[in-house]
Amino acid sequence: MTVTGTRPAVAEPRHAGRLDQRWPVESLWRPGVEPPAGEIRGGVLPLDLRARYAAPLAIALRSDRPTIVANFVSTLDGVVALDRIGASGGCEISGGFEPDRFVMGLLRATADAVLVGARTVRASRTHGWTPAHAHPPSARGYAAWRRQLGLTAASPVTVIVTASGSREPRHVPMDPGTSVIVVTTESGARRLRRLPRAGHVEIASLGEGDSIAVGRIVAFLHARGFRLVVSEGGPALFGELLAGGMVDEVFLTLAPQLAGRSAASARLSLVEDVSLAPAAPWGRIQGVMRSNDHLFLRYELSHPHREDLS
């Protein structure tokens, strides 16, 4: 068969390090000039960050509890991890796309704390939950942004949630300049206290039982004075936060790959272990950005009232 006419070339498969890392993340759409009402964190970025991310970043702060924004990268078909063991991080999803790493670092740099579930920590061999670790070339820019925001700590606190307290030493970020709080159950705390622990790691027991009610975790973060928390998942912890009506915004990078799923490869999707619809949170779009073939979406969520959840 002869094909005539022009047809856009099909993109080659993408692998980490092979993408066209084109800058900046450009703004395709954002709401009118009205800033969020009430107290906000953020504003116009310093020049060097603005050169990479062409929109202001302002996040409304709540007074009743910390504002929680989630950050994920997913494939077009909603997969966030290729396998539970092995190649299971966001890098395989984004193709190691540098602008996505930059946005992750920017959100961390804006926050008081980064919240992660223990399986995400265990899935990562070397990750540190700091702005500079997400995007080392922007370390100075992130530090300047934190100073501009009046944040005194050099990095946000890493908060790891675990019921079991199961970990190996490599699973706790080792940089002594970053405070780590492991939030756990009483039995998890007993287990963790038997292991060697660095001085920058605190263990906080939030009570007996097999897990901690998500409201308790958020109340703990509130009591610690955190105003803005970035939740980096994974999907199980994210699902719990959503079910509890605790997620205020989602920053979602859509990577232009279709991963697929089968019975033999149970890949995680964005939300796991909870059924939300029909009493689902709905999003209101707050920004559409793009870099190369990746889309950067920002949604503000509104949650159903508790009586609708019954």
Ligand X SMILES: NC(=O)c1ccc[n+]([C@@H]2O[C@H](COP(=O)([O-])OP(=O)(O)OC[C@H]3O[C@@H](n4cnc5c(N)ncnc54)[C@H](OP(=O)(O)O)[C@@H]3O)[C@@H](O)[C@H]2O)c1
Q: Give the interface with ligand X as residue ranges (CB under 6 A).
A: 72-73, 80-81, 88-90, 93, 117-120, 123, 161-164, 166, 211-212, 214, 232-237, 240, 268, 272
Shortest distance (Å) from residue 77 CB to ligand X: 13
Query: 20: Cβ–Cβ under 8 A, 6 or more apart, which residues?
Result: 292
Residue with tokens 């007074």: 63
- Separation between Cα atoms, residue 306 and residue 310, nearest integer Å: 7
Report the candidate in 97, 131, 89, 118 with the shortest Cα–Cα distance to residue 25: 97
Chain residue at closest Cβ approach to ligand X: 234
**With respect to ligand X, which residue has the nearer C-beta, 151 or 217?**
217
C-alpha angle with apex 232: 229 to 236, nearest 5 degrees? Answer: 115
Shortest distance (Å) from residue 9 CB to ligand X: 28
Report the candidate in 259, 170, 163, 278 with the shortest Cα–Cα distance to residue 216: 163
- Separation between Cα atoms, residue 54 and residue 214, nearest integer Å: 35
**With respect to ligand X, which residue has the nearer C-beta, 117 or 131?**
117
Shortest distance (Å) from residue 140 CB to ligand X: 25
DSSP 99-122: HHHHHHHHHHHH-SEEEEEHHHHH
**With respect to ligand X, which residue has the nearer C-beta, 81 or 103?**
81
57: β partners:
43
**With respect to ligand X, which residue has the nearer C-beta, 113 or 212?**
212
**With respect to ligand X, which residue has the nearer C-beta, 93 or 109?**
93
**With respect to ligand X, which residue has the nearer C-beta, 59 or 230?**
230
269: β partners:
79
**With respect to ligand X, which residue has the nearer C-beta, 121 or 151?**
121
Shortest distance (Å) from residue 294 CB to ligand X: 13
Shortest distance (Å) from residue 252 CB to ligand X: 9
Amino acid present at 285: I
Sign of the C-alpha dihedral, residues 153, 108, 303, 284? Answer: positive
Q: Mapping DSSP to helix (H, G, I), strand (E, B) and coil, where does residue 279 land?
A: coil
Write b or e for each residue in 262-282: b if 16 or more Cβ atoms lie within 10 A of its Cβ, otherwise e.
eeeeebbbbbbeeeeeeeebe
Shortest distance (Å) from residue 183 CB to ligand X: 7
**With respect to ligand X, which residue has the nearer C-beta, 39 or 186?**
186
Shortest distance (Å) from residue 276 CB to ligand X: 15
Shortest distance (Å) from residue 117 CB to ligand X: 2
